[in-house]
Amino acid sequence: MEIISSSIDEPIAADRQSRIHVLPDGRRIGYAEYGDPRGLPVLALHGTPGSRLMFALADADARDRGLRLIAPERPGYGLSDRRHWETLHGAAEDIRILADALGFDRFAVVGVSGGGPYGIAAAESMPERVLLLALVGPVGPIADYGSKMRMSRMHRLIFGPLARSPFARSLFFFGLRRLLRTAPEAAYRGLMARVPPSDRDILAGQDVKASLRAAVREGLRTGIEGAVQDVRLFSAPWRLSLAHIDVPAVLWQGSDDSVVPPDAAYWLARTLPNCRLDVIQGAGHYWVFGQFGLVLDAVAAALRG
């Protein structure tokens, strides 16, 4: 499949990794493939907003570890058709169907940031198939347990009243999409201003900058529906039985994360019954773009073990 372009209104640059799978209901789901095409199977779930391109920087690390990395896009992002879901369970069904189509019997799931809740939903729905749930700076179940978590006022506002408002959600992502179209450098400077120094060091790298901008731009290319739906589902009760998801899990969380509340991740790690928590002291939200190998080492060990 050939994908060509240069603007946010067209697909992001031709790349051999991009694929489209047609689901039983006729919808298209876009995904990218990285790493070793004959390697051990891993489903990698992008953040919010994001796209299949978010894991391009993990390509070499995945290949070195003998991993086949499949990065699907959720409905409304990139190449994937829109679909309204009432709960996280619906989106997990898309993940199951794609795994079946690719012939993945047992596999690992990596959920980065906004991909975390979907990874947890997939683990709940397929506990016998998910060999490792790897969560990187995940969004936590704030609507369910936010009163018990330590959060900043800004996080309580963003993941509370603002996230629950359809108008506020749409206005934010509409503004972001417009800014990416008209002033991408200003958008990136705005991101750099909101993160801790450790994140700024990572985001200053030209390869990280190009990859992250491409991933977000592609995710919002066809509209904001995917991102708006993500935040709607995150800010509502998850309806997941977290304490019964006995899938081996590892959760990495930067202690200085300014994008998602770290305490929500710590709470997740305590609630999932088979989860190891690794706190990366001094790290922010974007540390993984410089250390994909750390996550993939754990994934490879679980798949081979």
Residue 292: left (phi > 0), alpha (psi -120 to 50), or beta? alpha
Q: So what's the pLDDT on residue 2? A: 32
Which of the 8 DSSP states describes residue 161?
A: I
pLDDT attached to residue 185: 94
Q: What pLDDT is recorded for position 201?
A: 94
Type of residue at 31: Y
Cis ω before 262 (30° cut-off from 0)? no
Closest CA to 176 of 46, 49, 47: 49
Query: Domain residues of the chain, as ranges?
Result: 18-304
Alpha carbons 193 and 208: distance in angstroms, whole number: 16
Based on DSSP, count helices (H) and strands (E) in the chain, helices before strands.
13, 8
3-state secondary structure at position 248? coil
Sign (positive/negative) of CA torsion 213, 221, 61, 251? positive
pLDDT score, position 7? 37
* Tens-digit pLDDT string for the chain (305 aa): 333 333 344 444 445 589 999 999 999 999 999 999 999 999 999 999 999 999 999 999 999 999 999 999 999 999 999 999 999 988 889 999 999 999 999 999 999 999 999 999 999 999 999 999 999 999 998 877 766 777 777 777 778 888 889 999 999 999 999 999 999 999 999 999 999 999 999 999 999 999 999 999 999 999 999 999 999 998 889 999 999 999 999 999 999 999 999 999 999 999 999 999 999 999 999 999 999 999 999 999 999 98
Q: Which one of 1.10.287.3510, 3.10.129.10, 3.40.50.1820, 1.10.10.10 gives the CATH number of domain 18-304?
A: 3.40.50.1820
